[in-house]
Amino acid sequence: MRKVLLLAVVCTFWLILAGKATADSITYHIDVPVGVGSVMGTITTDGDLGTLLNGDITSWNLTLNDGTGTATLSSSNPADSVFISGGSLSATAGSLFFDFDGSGSFVNFNGPSPGCPPQWSIRTGGGTSCNGTTDDQMGVSAVLPAGEGVYSGTLSGVQELGVIPEPSALFLLGSGLLFVGIVSRKAI
């Protein structure tokens, strides 16, 4: 019985360590309607949960559609950038969120053009982005000129921006429990 208990403890620590290794980065799948347009793609973070800051977004690959055309923003293009201000962008292990009840926060994914487009802007509490997005809105401009874009209606509360399917973590947990069960059964 001692061997089974020791094995269970070792397996538990192994699962915890393996879980930490897989949580080094998290890739969220984005599929957000914005007015007649949309934003689709991926955003990868460093694995931090809770409020996200500029350094927490490690890569992105987004296709912006403003209803008249499309453009791609990617961290692999050194001219593209992301800027986060305030504490309204947050992450859980399964989802990426923006809190539209915050104050003065925004997230901008920008292309190389200093005056826009392309840009995906998410704002709350004040100010206007270069594509015209104002308080409590999401806006996207892919090929529309500066100051123009397509916008969501006024948003409030916490809105989900992206999700991550995590089958590998469930597989790892299930295989660990199966292993403990098999060893326990053989010991009895």
Question: Token digits for 19?
Answer: 């879980």
Which pLDDT tens digit goes with each residue over 132-188?
777 788 888 888 777 777 777 666 565 666 666 555 555 666 777 777 778 777 766
In a domain, 15, yes or no: no
In a domain, 180, yes or no: no
Predicted local distance difference test score (pLDDT) of residue 22: 41
In a domain, 11, yes or no: no
Q: Count how many domains the chain has.
A: 1
In a domain, 16, yes or no: no
Model pTM score: 0.71
Which pLDDT tens digit goes with each residue over 69-95?
898 999 999 889 898 888 888 888 888
Question: Token digits for 139?
Answer: 């806006």
- Do 101 and 132 touch, CB atoms closer than 8 A? no
In a domain, 157, yes or no: yes
In a domain, 172, yes or no: no
Greatest mean pLDDT among 19-28, 102-111, 175-184: 102-111
DSSP 43-96: EEE-S--EE--GGGEEEEEEEEE-SS-EEEEETTSTT-EEEEESS-EEE-SSEE
Average model confidence (pLDDT) across the chain = 77
Domain that residue 140 falls in? 25-165
